[in-house]
Every structure is written in structure tokens, then in C-alpha cells.
Amino acid sequence: MSSPIVGLHHITAIASDPQRNLDFYTGVLGLRFVKRTVNFDDPGTYHFYFGDDTGTPGTILTFFPWPGATPGRRGSGETIATAFSIPLGSLQYWRERLAAKEVPATEEFHFGNVHLAFHDPDGMAIELVEQLMTQATQAPRYSDIPAANAIQGFYGVTLLERSIQRTQALLEIMGFHKTAEEGNRFRFAPAGETRGRFVDILLEKDATPGHMGAGTVHHIAFRAADDAAQLEWREELGRHVGVTPVQDRTYFHSIYFHEPGGALFEIATDNPGFLIDEPIESLGEALKIPDWFEVHRTQIEARVSPITLHKFNKDSVEAEVSA
Ligand code: ZN
């Protein structure tokens, strides 16, 4: 029996314009830009990471912003909604904030909760859900949003699937069990109370497969406590699906596999984390590239587009830094 998976580690999606992506997640949702790096498989393009002040596992939304990327298409074998937790009592703040930022939002009701639903500039579906916080609410320092309203990491994801049995079987191997169902929507969660633990499946037998592109989720990553736990999962899952070797992603170590419905899953380690190559005060400010790309830094810097960061620090006044 492997060490349990407690919830999501990060979610990675595709965007088009890097600046517009950065403006939305820092300026509208108030997340911190915790890492500015490049796509290790395509080092001429960015990889952006947003999260809480330190990029805690379970708070991290990452993007490959490909300028000019064509929009993807929602379909089966895809994550069709990414939900964040917000503190109880903060829904009205978010209704007003999104309206003030001219982000149209609708309200859906699932499993007893209001989901405030809207789209990012590339059309990616985002939801905010009030949740009683079992851990102390974090007061973000690098965000203009008051602690009582600030996003507290992930709530969960919704997968669209044409059938459920094989995906459910894999989730059960991963320690996720069906906890609720409502019509064609099924909820899975592991034991425990950690952030980002809900995986919902929306079952639509006639759904057509999705198409990757701007506004779609590339993969979702679950948490392994450490490298040993990850290797146990690699062995366990390898009996059922094809799993990649461990890959060094600098800030965590990763294995990947497709769930039977087609969505790409990852298991990522909590270690070593985002403070490995930058101090907390200046996370996200410098372009970070792995050592093996350093010889190409000049070419990489020439290829990625310049961006303007919106630095916000509650200890000082907001400052803009061109990078
Ligand atoms: Zn990943």
C-alpha cells in the first residue's frame, strides 16, 4: 500500500498571450506569480507558475503561454473546470470584484455549493467555491486581496468523460472514492481534508474528444509526499497503465500517465519546492532556467517576449517592474 495521495499538487493549462495571462491571474484572481521559467520540452517558450506566497502544493496553477496559440475545444478526456477554494462568506466579494474587472460570471449549484463560474482570457473555465477552511486561512502578503477573501488553493477539478467505469477504477487505485453523485455528475475524493481533493466526473456518453489548445488544461498533477512515495506509486500504477520514468522538473519530480478516459495525469513530489532557486521576496521576478539550458540563456531570453510584472507587497506600495 503506497502512501496516500491527498489531493492535487498543480494544474497545467495552455494560454496564448503571456502578458494577458499574467495580468489575469495576478491582477484579477490575486494569485502570486511564483516562477517565471521556460517549458523544459520547448525552451523558447515560457512556463508560468501562479500560487500562494510560496507556491505551496495544492495552490499551483501553471501555464504554457504560447503567443498566437489557437483555442482548444472542450471535450471528453479533458479537465473542463478548475475550481479554487475561497473562505466562507467571501462569495459576495468575488461577485463584486469580478464585475468590477468586467469578467462575466454565472452561478452553478453542485453538491450543495454555489460555484461562481467564469472564464479566463483564453476561455479556460474557472470556478470559485466557498469552503470551510480546516487549516488557518492564509493571509497573502503578495496580493491586494484581503485575507478574508483570498483564494486558498484548489477546491478540485471536473473531468468530462464518455464512460466512467475504467476512470473510476483508476481513481480508486489512487485512493479516491465516490463520495456523492448528482444526475450525471460524480464526485471522488480521498480520505482527509486537504486542499484540492475533489475530482468530479461529468458523464456525457456522446461527448466528442477534446482538442488541446489555448484555454484547455494540459494535465493535472496529484501530490506525492516525497520521492519514495512517488516510486511506490510508479510501481503500483504501472501494473494498470503506462507510466513515464521520473522526470526532474526542478521544483518537483514528476511521473505521468493517461487515465483510461484520455486525460493526462501526473504525480509530483512536494520537494524541493519553489524556494530552491529564489528568495521568497523576489519569487517570479527573474527568468529561471535549468542549469542544462544556461548555455543557451541569451537565445532563450531573445525568444520569449518581455513581460511587466505587477508586484504587490502588503508591506509596501504596489510597484511595477519590467522584466
Ligand atoms: Zn505538471
The 3 state secondary structure assigned to 133-152 is CCCCCCCCCCCCCCCCCCCC
**Model pTM?**
0.95
**Ligand 1 centroid – CA 218 distance (Å):** 8
Domain span holding position 300: 8-322
Q: Is residue 1 part of a domain?
A: no
Q: Are 268 and 246 in contact (CB under 8 A)?
A: no
- Alpha-carbon torsion, ordered 131, 137, 141, 146, to 10 deg: 60
Q: Are 98 and 47 in contact (CB under 8 A)?
A: no
Report the alpha-carbon distance of residue 118 to residue 115 in Å, rounded. 9
As a whole number of Å, the end-to-end CA separation of the chain is: 47
Report how many domains make up the chain: 1
Q: Are 32 and 283 in contact (CB under 8 A)?
A: yes
**Ligand 1 centroid – CA 74 distance (Å):** 20
**Ligand 1 centroid – CA 59 distance (Å):** 13
Q: Is residue 277 part of a domain?
A: yes
Least Cα distance to 319 among 138, 144, 97, 147 occurs for 144
Q: How many CA atoms lie within 13 A of 270 on its CB side?
A: 12
Q: Which residue has the cell 504587490?
A: 312
Q: Is residue 2 part of a domain?
A: no
**Ligand 1 centroid – CA 228 distance (Å):** 18
CA distances, 55 to each of 62, 187, 220, 276 (Å): 11, 26, 16, 11
Residues of the chain with pLDDT under 70: 1, 134-137, 315-323
**Ligand 1 centroid – CA 95 distance (Å):** 30
pLDDT, the chain, mean: 94
Q: Is residue 98 part of a domain?
A: yes
**Ligand 1 centroid – CA 219 distance (Å):** 6
**Ligand 1 centroid – CA 266 distance (Å):** 6
pLDDT of 317 reads 47
**Ligand 1 centroid – CA 66 distance (Å):** 16
Q: Is residue 88 part of a domain?
A: yes
- pLDDT tens track for 187-240: 999 998 888 999 999 999 999 999 999 999 999 999 998 999 999 999 999 999
Give the domain CATH number at 279. Answer: 3.10.180.10
Least Cα distance to 172 among 158, 186, 162 occurs for 186
